[in-house]
Structure 1
């Protein structure tokens, strides 16, 4: 199982929350994502939560392509 330092990827207010709470959090809970950027993600892709962002097929496709590129 992958480990991650939550304080490096989440805003301070979210770093001590449970994983289910984090997945249900607005994308602005991610460090570096503003409320405005969260609004734009919702407008463009219907993304409301961290879970929605994680399941966005376009992001998954892009990650798969990046993985292939680094595997060469």
Structure 2
């Protein structure tokens, strides 16, 4: 099943027409608002190099789950 959406506010311009697989494999700096320097911090601190690794990271997932539960109250 094809999934489409407007990624213009989520990823940098050069990634907006890429597939979700290509975006997940892209460097973290491809996310809008993440600089190369910020991506380096994530890589050095947590070993995160790609958007997919960031999204699957247990610490980011845990913090998102906590915030989702809080917001659902």
Q: TM-score, normalised by structure 2?
A: 0.90
User: After TM superposition, what 4+ stretches of structure 1 lie above 6 angstroms from structure 2?
Assistant: none
Q: Return the offset for 1:18.
A: 1.1
Q: TM-score, normalised by structure 1?
A: 0.92
Aligned length: 71
Q: Does 1:57 align with 2:69?
A: no
Q: Which has the higher helix share?
A: 1
* Structure 2 unaligned residues grouped into runs of 5+: none
* Structure 1 unaligned residues grouped into runs of 5+: none
Q: Return the offset for 1:3.
A: 6.3
Q: What does residue 46 of structure 2 align with?
A: 45
